[in-house]
Structure 1
Amino acid sequence: MTEVRAKNLPAEERRNVTVEAVIDLAGMMNPGDITTAAIAKHMHLTQGALFRHFPNKEAIWQAVMQWVATHLMARIDKSAAGIKEPLAAMQAMFQAHVAFVADHPGAPRMLFGELQGAAMTPAKRLAQALMAQYAARLTDLILSAKIRGELPADLDVEAATVLFIGTIQGLVMQALISGDMGRMLTVAPRVFHIYRRGLETAAPNKPKG
């Protein structure tokens, strides 16, 4: 982006461009090391121009988390729209989530960073709300799959939900460590296949004694 273009953007678009700039930077460096000076430099702006649209850094981080939540949920909801079979919808969500991360590698780094922080910031609350919303979507689909007979009636729904999210997080972490986001896209369908087979053949927990 050129400095001239940035200066001439409408206020709302400037805010969106700022959010995208932070996500871009998070894909290249530790989110905790991102300063407002670094954001302004990346956008070819002064810090003063940046703060005309955000009162402080915390407000920028809150806007970033809102962007991630809105765009990720929109991506996975669109992927599953119109798919009647719950497990097929879950597979579409799985692949869409991985594709979102491949497109925006800074997004999960920002999300993980907020969730790991000790302070309960507005950005962290948004990150927690995103995870809760995501888990609720999965729970509904898993329950529907049980009702339709796609999954065992005694399947542990909570554990299946946690495993779905954890599997994606594992793929994402490995991709971030290796720097090979493309491989994550090719491996994801095979990983989901193993996850699905695990659900379909899961044995109920039996009390000891």
Structure 2
Amino acid sequence: GALFRHFPTKGAILEAVMDWVAERLLARVDKAARGAASPVDALEAIFMAHAGFAAEYPGVPRMLFGELQQPGETLPKKTVQRLIRQYEERLRGLLAAGKARGELGPALDVNAAAVLFIGSIQGLVMQSLLVDDAARIRRDASGVFSIYRHGIGGAPSRP
């Protein structure tokens, strides 16, 4: 009862949670990218920061996947769609900068690479949910990013 004094509907609660997630996640990935020496290093820092966020808040993906299965356009879905657009925009910018600096091949499809980046994290999250082990996200993130980096034509990480 007390929650509904502040939020008129379940959708309003979910929208507020998704707004919180979007704000925190984007702030975390922006901070991670700022300290990087190159665009490809920034991508790696963002990947690890996002994986860490997902591992720290394992309830968020559960709630998110559940909400995204609901039919129709909901406010929480719109919030997540906006988050994905903003996130992909950041990734496309870094991927384009990596191409411009010669870190990535000129033929790289930055749109597909941005989708694959996010999909790789989503895959890590799904795997962790299947075995009920949020720490698995962090354990597997480095290896998954290494394969991603190789696939987009980036040089391997320095030890």
**TM-score higher than 0.5:** yes
* Gap regions ≥5 residues in structure 2: 155-159
* Partner Cα distance (1:68, 1:165) in 2: 15
Q: Does structure 2 retain, via aligned residues, the 8 Å contact 1:114–1:127?
A: no
Deviation of the 1:141 alpha carbon: 0.3
Which residue, 127, 138, 142 being the options, matches 1:174? 127
* Gap regions ≥5 residues in structure 1: 1-46, 202-209
RMSD of the TM alignment (CA)? 1.3
Once the two structures are superposed, residues 143-166 of structure 1 have per-residue CA deviations (whole angstroms, 9 ceiling, x without a partner) of: 000000000011111111111111
Q: Does structure 1 retain, via aligned residues, the 8 Å contact 2:54–2:137?
A: no
Deviation of the 1:184 alpha carbon: 2.0
Q: Does structure 2 retain, via aligned residues, the 8 Å contact 1:80–1:93?
A: yes
1:25 counterpart residue number: none
1:190 matched to 2:143? The reply is: yes
* Local SS of the residue matching 2:5: coil
* Partner Cα distance (1:116, 1:194) in 2: 29
Q: Does structure 2 retain, via aligned residues, the 8 Å contact 1:115–1:128?
A: no
1:99 counterpart residue number: 52
User: Which structure would you say has the larger Rg?
Assistant: 1
2:152 counterpart residue number: 199
1:158 matched to 2:86? The reply is: no
What TM-score do the two structures reach when normalised by structure 2?
Answer: 0.91
Which residue, 25, 37, 40 being the options, matches 1:87? 40
* Partner Cα distance (1:157, 1:169) in 2: 18
Q: Does structure 1 retain, via aligned residues, the 8 Å contact 2:43–2:91?
A: yes
* Local SS of the residue matching 2:47: helix
Higher relative contact order (CA 8 A, sep 6+): 2
* Partner Cα distance (2:76, 2:145) in 1: 30
Deviation of the 1:95 alpha carbon: 0.6
Deviation of the 1:111 alpha carbon: 2.1
Count of residue pairs the alignment pairs up: 154
Question: Counterpart amino acid of 2:46?
Answer: M
* Local SS of the residue matching 1:52: helix
